[in-house]
Amino acid sequence: MSDNWKLEGNYFESCNCDLVCPCIFLDPPTEGVCEAQVGWEIKKGHLDDVNLDGVKIGVWLHAPGPLTEGGWDLALYVDDKASKEQFDAVCQLWSGDHGGHLAIIASLVGNVMSAEQVPIEIKTSNPRTLKIGDVGELVMPEIEGADGKSVTVSNMPLAVAPGYDITVCRSEKNTYTGNGKNWSQVGKVGLASPFTYGP
């Protein structure tokens, strides 16, 4: 296990929960299960001497109940522009091998369905978009607040990116067809924020 790593960038996700997702308040998902598609764009990062600047990551997951109870099925995708060393580093980090908040997330995964490299496109401006090869696509514009600015949630007890307020969005498109799935959601919650992970 290495403590010589740090990642900074932007993340966003959309799941099958209604606005606002009860999972972030430690309540059960709207439909009893949670299914989400997530994207991370690493702006600056490394694991030991492996530079991870610019690497893009996508995930599709199914949680059978409240997120904190674990047992997730998860599919991990890394941009095909990443080198083998970068792919291996991301797999190690997202598997929790090097500790930190990613290890907390990894501890909730019961089954990794796949881990592979595919073309990944991410846009973190409004609307945020994620395209994972030919299996996943997500489009989620921000919710406009009363003052015309973004709607944000602060200090939620469950966070993918602790320490950052999350911007609330709504999905216009969210589809996933990998690993034998045929999943589609629209008009559901989206969450977005910067992230900083380390050991």
pLDDT digits (tens, 9 = 90+) for 115-165: 999 999 999 999 999 999 999 999 999 999 999 999 999 999 999 999 999
Domain boundaries, the chain: 5-197
Q: What share of the chain is helix, strand, coil (3-state, %, to 5)?
A: 10, 45, 40
Confidence of residue 19 (pLDDT cuts 50, 70, 90): confident
Stated as kind and residue range, the H or E segment containing 105 is: helix 101-106
What confidence category does residue 111 fall into, taking pLDDT thresholds of 50, 70 and 90? very high
pLDDT of residue 1: 86
Asked whether the beta carbons of 122 and 114 are under 8 A apart, the reply is: no
| pTM (predicted TM-score) | 0.94
Q: Cα–Cα distance between 6 and 31 in angstroms, integer?
A: 35
| pLDDT tens by residue, 44-95 | 999 999 999 999 999 999 999 999 999 999 999 999 999 999 999 999 999 9
Strand partners, 51: 46
